[in-house]
Amino acid sequence: MGGKRMQVTTTKDIGRWATEALLRPDASGIRNSALSIASDYLSFDELDAIFRKETGKPVGITYGWLARLMIWMVEDLRTMFGWINERDYGANLEELAKTVKPTTFREWVKETHKA
């Protein structure tokens, strides 16, 4: 994936959007619509720098050959990573933040990796 930036989100934010859809679909303007959800937009290097700063450790990764083997063996993974690599993401973070305050990756790391 190199330096490609990816939109990421937390399960907590997914739950908060589900709550909006169930309790306030008209007020939040999401009734009967598809919604791309994201909380932050980071490259792996940016993500790793944040993780290192907050935890003192690098982001855990697997062996590159193992990941490539899995992608080669599993057609759905090939399709997914091909799609991710070819397209930009559709979530409008600025617009989403008007309804649900997103949890940034830094906030998530601080919340879930307390010393």
| Average pLDDT of the chain, as a whole number | 90
Q: What confidence tens digit (pLDDT) does each residue in 49-93 have? A: 999 999 999 998 888 898 889 989 999 999 988 887 787 778 999
- Phi/psi for 41 (5° steps) reads -135, 100
Specify the pLDDT at position 27.
84
Instruction: Give the pLDDT confidence score for residue 8 in this predicted structure.
Output: 93
**Is residue 2 predicted with pLDDT exceeding 80?**
no
Read off the pLDDT of residues 21-33 as tens digits, 9 standing for 90 and up. Answer: 999 988 888 899 8
pLDDT in the model for residue 115:
60
At position 92, the amino acid (one-letter code) is N
Q: With 80 as the cut, is the pLDDT of residue 114 above it? A: no
Q: What's residue 59's pLDDT?
A: 92
Return d(Cα 95, Cα 100) in angstroms, integer: 9
Rounded to two decimals, what is the model's pTM?
0.80
Q: What is the DSSP string of 69-92?
A: HHHHH-HHHHHHHHHHHHS-----
